[in-house]
Amino acid sequence: MTHTLRFMGVNRDTVTAGPGKRLEFFTKGCIRGVVAPCQGCFNESTWTFEGLSRELTVDEVVQICDETAWNRQVTFCGGEPILQARSLAAVAKRLKERDSSFNFVMYTAYKLDTLMKYGLKFTWVKDKHGQAMYDALKEYSSHIEHVGESIEITSVYGEDADFYPTKAHFTILTPDDVKELMKFIDLIVDGDYQQGKRLTTSTYMHDGWFIGSSNQRVIHGPLSVYKDKLIYTPAAEYNSWLSHIEKCKCCGHEVFLEDAPFCDITCSKRYKKRQSEMTSIGGA
């Protein structure tokens, strides 16, 4: 397993990636996007494994989140984040150990109950999927079985040639890997985006909404692991609930005290500090 993560970009204070304003990371690479992309996916540039990306170590991602996620709300989307599940689990675990108020949301096109049972495997074929996918999956996977003859690829820089298979079976995640990730990711939106089941008729997602289509589910990761079964809320039901609750001005989660602007004193202090910082630089 690599301790390096690949990202296409990051947004600060986004309001359509989970509760509250969130630090949102876009992972690089999506098998589904290469093989059979979700129609209407808004992030086509993250599908391929080729091209530009930013590589960060687990330590670096932890530092960025600790310094930048002012309200401790972080989202991993893609691309397909679950391909890098081991490293993302390490990031989330370390941050929650540092500050238990960190809250994580992640998206995946895969069905979590299937992954919990079988893990994630993929058969790569060079002529179909390209060398960049092989190189990435080799870093992410726990096991690789090479099939077929290897071919020689001569370096354009005149260095020693490398040998690559024409076909390989990857075990990207085991069921235990999936459950380890779920221990630390609070909400996981699973299922492919289906344009025909889009939940909003608007061109863009409403502020506060973060689920694209009605087939998707909001899975409660730690509770599912604790109960040893999938605990989830259907997308439409979750959106309905979200629209009827009072939300903390800082973290965006439910406030249980009537007319209270924050869920606790910590959120109150964080919000006021953030407002002061934004005012000092001329922001809102």
Nearest CA to 241 among 223, 253, 226? 253
- The DSSP element (H or E) to which 30 belongs, if any, is none
Decide if 112 contacts 83 (C-beta within 8 A). Answer: no
Question: Which tokens in the block code for residue 28?
Answer: 């690089």
pLDDT score for 205: 57
Q: What backbone phi and psi angles, to 5 degrees, belong to 192?
A: -70, 150
pLDDT score for 157: 41
> How far is Cα 137 from Cα 133, in angstroms, rounded to an integer?
6
Distances in Å between the alpha carbon of 184 and those of 31, 93, 100, 176, 225? 24, 6, 10, 13, 10
Decide if 38 contacts 196 (C-beta within 8 A). Answer: no
Q: What backbone phi and psi angles, to 5 degrees, belong to 127?
A: -65, -25
> How far is Cα 3 from Cα 139, in angstroms, rounded to an integer?
9
DSSP letter (8 states) at residue 196: G
Question: Which tokens in the block code for residue 101?
Answer: 């108020």
Enter the pTM of the model.
Answer: 0.90
Across the strands, what pairs with 151? 164
Mean pLDDT by 10-residue block, N- to C-terminus, for the chain (284 residues)? 83 91 95 82 83 94 98 95 97 98 96 96 94 94 84 51 80 97 97 79 61 86 95 90 91 92 96 93 69
pLDDT score for 169: 95
pLDDT score for 243: 84
The distance of Cα 164 from the centroid of its chain, to the nearest Å, equals 29
Decide if 201 contacts 176 (C-beta within 8 A). Answer: no
pLDDT score for 158: 46
List the 103-108 sheet strands across, edge first: 54-57, 4-14, 22-27, 73-77, 103-108, 187-190, 217-220, 232-234
> How far is Cα 225 from Cα 218, in angstroms, rounded to an integer?
14
